[in-house]
Amino acid sequence: MGFAFRVIASCAIPVALAMIGIIVATYLTLSGIAERQQEDRILFRLENLRTSIEANLSLGFQLAQIGGTQDVLERARSTDSVLQALDVFSGDGVSVYSTDRGVKGEPVPAEWRAAATTGNAEDHWRYEGPAELVLGLPIRNDLGDVVGHIVSITSPEEALAADLPGLLQRLAFWIVPVGLAASMVAALALSRRITRPYHAIADALAGRIASPNPDEPREAAAHAARRSGLMAMADLESATERLEAIDHAL
């Protein structure tokens, strides 16, 4: 039992560690992929909203004069549970439109402005704080000047599309036990296969088998050794009896 336990442990522990490592690596990979997919989806929505705003700017409207923008943002926010808020702020950092009506007319956080300034103006920019993830796109007029930015606000947790990692977490609850059970069964079968010849040798030496397996030389040798031992014991007993008879005769 001790040997079998050691074999099972030597197989099960590496399998468990390998499975945990694979699950962690897969989780991190899928989390990164899911997060990028979620950000791409949000940026696609922002791009559509930006296109609508820039179309109005091309008609000669100022950013703060585009009617219906507030309603458009409200509708977009209501159809996406991931979005906490949508904002449009001017080039000087003042909120012009927002689904959080309490911040309209207020300066946006300095971190947003810094991220918008240091980011690639031709592409999106992002700011990730402890409680929010902000994705933004610059808004340009006909001359190509940046007159504002449109941004989405989500929480870092909600920004992660957790379907794939969540599925992996749920699967791990039965993958690991099943994998461990399978490795233990395989290890037990391996230990029995390894120890079977030695058990047969022990049986042969103990006389628990009538004839050895001809395909197992070690078993045959053990059977022959037992037979030789029995013959030697018989000779010893016979010699002892003769000595005792001589002793009595004297």
For position 139, what pLDDT does the model report?
92
Cα gap 65→70, rounded to integer Å: 11
Q: How distant is the alpha carbon of residue 97 from its chain centre?
A: 40
Cα gap 188→177, rounded to integer Å: 16
HSE-CB at 161 with a 13 A cutoff on CA atoms is 15
Q: Which two tokens stand for residue 85?
A: 């808020």
The predicted-structure confidence for 74-122, as pLDDT tens digits, reads as follows: 998 888 888 889 999 998 899 999 998 888 889 999 999 998 887 655 5
Cα gap 204→217, rounded to integer Å: 12
Q: Which residue has the higher pLDDT, 153 or 9?
A: 153
Tell the residue number behind the tokens 């209501």, with chain if given: 78
* Domains detected in the chain: 2-160 (3.30.450.20), 164-249 (no CATH)
Query: Which H or E run includes 128?
Result: strand 125-128
Cα gap 1→124, rounded to integer Å: 64
The predicted-structure confidence for 40-54, as pLDDT tens digits, reads as follows: 888 888 999 999 999
pTM, full prediction: 0.56
The predicted-structure confidence for 14-70, as pLDDT tens digits, reads as follows: 666 666 666 666 666 656 666 777 888 888 889 999 999 999 888 888 888 887 889
Cα gap 207→172, rounded to integer Å: 50
Cα gap 97→87, rounded to integer Å: 6
